[in-house]
Amino acid sequence: MAKANPPAPSVEPVVPTRDLKFGRKGHRSWITGRVEGFPEFTHIGHDTFTKVSGLGKHEHPGMFEYCLIIRGHVTWWAQERIYQLRGGDVYFTWPDEPHGGMNELMTPCTIYWTILDIPRPGDKRAQSFLSLPPSEARDLCERIYAVKDRHLKGAERLEPYYKEIFRGLEMQSRLGVIHARAALQGMFATLVELPVAAEPEGFIPPGVARARAFLDDCPRPWPTVEELAKLAGMSSSHFHATFRRTVGMAPMEYAHHRRLDHASRLLAAKEASVTAIAARLGYCSSQHLATCYKRYLGTTPTAVKSKT
C-alpha cells in the first residue's frame, strides 16, 4: 500500500493590500496606502460636498493628483492661474506643485480624485509602469508628461475607471489588484487623448444664455424657474437640466452667486449698509443675505466689508 504524502504545511497567503486603509464618512469614501504589485497607487477618493468647506494651499510631494468634477462648480488655482471647473471637467496638478481652492474654499460639488506616483520617462521605473511591456510603459509615461494643459474635458469618460479602481482594491486580493491596475491603464490611455477645455463654460444654448444674462442683472423680484424656462423657450425640466449641464450649477444657485458677487462690490463703499444692500438685491433681510453668504461663499457680509 502506497504511503500517503504528509499534508502540506499551512501557509498564510500574502495579501497584496494589507497596508491599505479604507475610510468612509458621510458622502466621502477613500482608500489610501501602498499595494504590492501596484506601486503607482497611493490614494483614491470620492466625495459629494453639500456645503461650502475649506480647501487651503497644499501639495503632493512627488505625486500627481487627478480630479474629476462630476457635478457642481469649483474654483481652484495652481501656479498663477485660476481655473473655473464645472461638471464634466478633468483637472490635474504636477508633483510638488502648490495648489488649492480660491479663497481656500471648496464649493458644493461631486468629485473623484486620485494621487499617483508616475515615473518620469527617463526614469528606470518608467520601463515597468503599470506592469506594461517596457516599450508601452515608456510610451504611456511620455504621453502623460506631454499633456500640457491641466484643464481637460471628459470626466464622464474617466469615471468608470475610477469606480473600477475602487472596486478592485476593495476586493483585497491579487485578482482585485489586477482589476485596479488594468483600470488605471485604461484611464491613462483615455486621459492622454482628452481635449483641452478651450473655455471654462463651453457652448451655451441661446435660450440658456438669455436666461443667464437676465440673472446677471439681478432682477427683482426673483424670477422662478418656470419664468426663466419660458424666457429660454424650454420646458421647466429641460431648462433646469440644460442650464445645470452647460453652466455648471442650478439656475437659482447661479442667481445667488451673481447677487453675492454684486453685493461684495457694493460692500466696498465706505457708507455701504448691509441691510440696504440686502433690500436692493431682493433678500428678505440682512440675516437672509448673511445666510446665503455663508452657504455659497463660506464667509459673511461683515467679513467682506472689513477687508475693503
Write down the H helix ranges in the chain.
134-146, 155-170, 174-191, 206-216, 225-232, 236-247, 251-266, 274-280, 286-297, 301-306
pLDDT digits (tens, 9 = 90+) for 55-110: 999 999 999 999 999 998 888 989 878 788 989 999 999 999 999 998 788 988 99
Q: Class for domain 206-306, per CATH? A: mainly alpha
Q: Which of 52-61, 108-117, 131-140 has the lowest mean pLDDT?
A: 52-61
How far is residue 21 from each of residues 5, 80, 182, 227, measured CA to CA in Å?
41, 34, 21, 50
Count Cα atoms within 13 angstroms, Cβ side, for 183.
Answer: 22
Return the higher-pLDDT residue of 6 and 150.
Answer: 150
pLDDT digits (tens, 9 = 90+) for 141-177: 999 999 989 999 999 999 999 999 999 999 999 999 9
- What CA–CA distance (Å, rounded) separates 201 from 226? 23
The pLDDT of 47-52, averaged and rounded, is: 90
Instruction: Read off the pLDDT band of 200 (50, 70, 90).
Output: very low
Cα angle value 101/99/130 (rounded, 5°):
120
Return the higher-pLDDT residue of 204 and 141.
Answer: 141
Cβ pair 168, 176 in contact under 8 A: yes
Rounded to 5 degrees, φ, ψ at 121 are -55, -35
C-alpha cell at 293: 453668504
The SS3 of residue 158 is: helix
Instruction: Read off the pLDDT band of 197 (50, 70, 90).
Output: confident
Report domain extents, the chain. Answer: 21-191, 206-306
Q: Is the pLDDT of residue 7 over 80?
A: no
Q: Is the pLDDT of residue 12 over 50?
A: no
Return the higher-pLDDT residue of 172 and 199.
Answer: 172
- What CA–CA distance (Å, rounded) separates 193 from 225? 38
Q: Is the pLDDT of residue 201 over 60?
A: no
pLDDT digits (tens, 9 = 90+) for 234-289: 889 889 988 888 888 899 999 998 898 888 888 888 788 889 998 888 888 989 98
Q: Tell whether domain 21-191 is in CATH 3.90.1150.10.
A: no
Return the higher-pLDDT residue of 132 and 296.
Answer: 132
pTM (2 decimals)? 0.64
